[in-house]
Chain A
């Protein structure tokens, strides 16, 4: 079974430019999440999709961030225009809809964004 795939692995852009990160979740996983880790800090929740619908986007920093999940498959996270404080590692995770017990997320390797 293929895991969660993220692209690109690393992106270096200048302040004011646009970057789009892509995530392919595990096939059949209805839940897709975006998290971000700024160096040395905690991994912070950004948003949660159930299929193509945004279930919770309370962690999105501001309106420069736009996430989509077309057809309930892959997801993109666009940052436009990028600012210096957007630098960090963006993790995508997916999970099945659970009946009971802990919701175990499977994470991708992350997309490292560096804004200069």
Chain B
């Protein structure tokens, strides 16, 4: 039973435009949400996180929004660059932060 869902397996965006990746979760007890980025043949690398007490966190071109009432978070990338093409995983954990629940990933392609 998946607790974190990414319903869009893939997304294509023109270079310079905004990429929006979505993630839904079922467990209202999750305290931390993270986004990881994964290139082929590499492990996931940490991108950005947000705690459940916030609704927005920004780091350069990357912004994560959290809507707790809807149990939904999204990652915005502005402007999108070809190097952003990768698989993006949403992950959530409880307070201890030791067991993460990951989504199935969204493959982003940024078209030059």
Contacts and interface: CB of A to CB of B under 8 A. Distances in A.
Interface of A: 4, 31, 33, 35, 40-45, 48, 55-56, 58-59, 91, 93, 98, 101-110
A48 B100 CA distance: 11
B59 to A, nearest CB: 13
Nearest to A103: B97
Size category of the binding interface on chain B: 20 to 34
A42 B98 contact: no
Nearest to B46: A104
Contacts of B96: 103
Q: Which 10 A-B pairs give the minimum distances between C-beta atoms?
A: A103-B97, A107-B43, A43-B102, A102-B49, A102-B32, A42-B104, A42-B102, A104-B46, A107-B44, A109-B43
Contact of A103 (B36, B41, B45, B98): B98
Interface of B: 2, 4, 32, 34, 36, 41-46, 49, 51, 89, 91, 93, 96-105
Contacts of A35: 102
Given A107-B43, A108-B43, A109-B43, A48 B99 contact: yes
A48 B89 contact: no
Given A98-B97, A102-B51, A103-B93, A44 B102 contact: yes
A42 B89 CA distance: 9
